[in-house]
Amino acid sequence: MAILTAEVPIESAGMRLDQVLVALFSDYSRNKLQTWIKAKRVTVNGQQLKAKDRLEGGEAIILNAEEEEVTEYLAEDIPLDIIYEDDDILIVNKPAGLVVHPGAGNWTGTLQNGLLFHLPDAATIPRSGIVHRIDKDTSGLLMVAKTLAAHHSLVEQLQAREIHREYLAITIGRMTGGGTLDEPIGRHPTERKKFSVREGGKPAVTHYRVLERFLRNTLIQVKLETGRTHQIRVHMAHLRMPLVGDPMYSGRFQMPRDCSPELEKVLRHFKRQALHAEKLGLIHPRTGEYCEWQQAIPDDMQELLVALRANDTLDHS
């Protein structure tokens, strides 16, 4: 149990209780502090007040900041590829095929189940400290908060678009150049598992640039400003450049023309969208310093790139 105490500064006279708490206990979000006020876990000179009550300055505040259990998901001994870990944050390299959060059809065997085993205290943090997600069949870097204060900081950075996220993707189609897509994304009107660019959707901004062109494909680097569900996949499909291996947004699989037997074999066995979260940068919640991590492209995408390059060297006349 964390019992925190503070004295209300005289210059805070006339301010609401919740405003004063935000200033005094900045490790916690305003919503969390308001919840604790309602739960009678805050006393002012021994009395329990409402969030809107105004203070005079000089009062003694006691806050019971005990971190309550917020999840009942099963802890499982699932191997985690941990890239970095300290007392506040954890950076993990998620393999393709691993679901991030438990849900319908996937209540066990997820990244969150594995985190609960590796970090038992994660049960006291929303979503076990996971503040963003990548799709099941996308590989790469994810950040995890190990404390409520770190969780609050990372969520604020995400909302302020201060988290740096770069992806590598391989598209179907040869791009002529990079650009920026600023197109809203919402639930598909008829296919509820899909999303699409649509009026009235949530703002979504994707920057992309060409790294390497092939005969009928392109390797691109993508930077996200926002983090909408399926954002890169939806935006690339909107450009008519869907990702290799993405049946949801690329339609029925068609073997490209001028395809070598080696490339055909790799494409037939490539069963997930060619998307990898390569770089992740953030302001460290405790030190305030900018930190960045990079994870090399996984073997399956590397094998695909090798086959694409080899195919380009053949005589297709």
> What positions carry a catalytic annotation?
135
Using CA atoms, how far apart are residues 59 and 239, in angstroms rounded to an integer? Answer: 60
Tokens of 277: 């979260």
CA angle 131, 134, 138 (to 5 degrees): 155
Using alpha carbons, select from 201, 271, 267 the residue that is nearest to residue 231.
Answer: 201
Q: Which residue has the tokens 């600023």?
A: 182
Q: Which residue has the tokens 């021994």?
A: 46
The answer to whether 75 and 113 are in contact (CB under 8 A) is yes
Tokens of 13: 């006279």
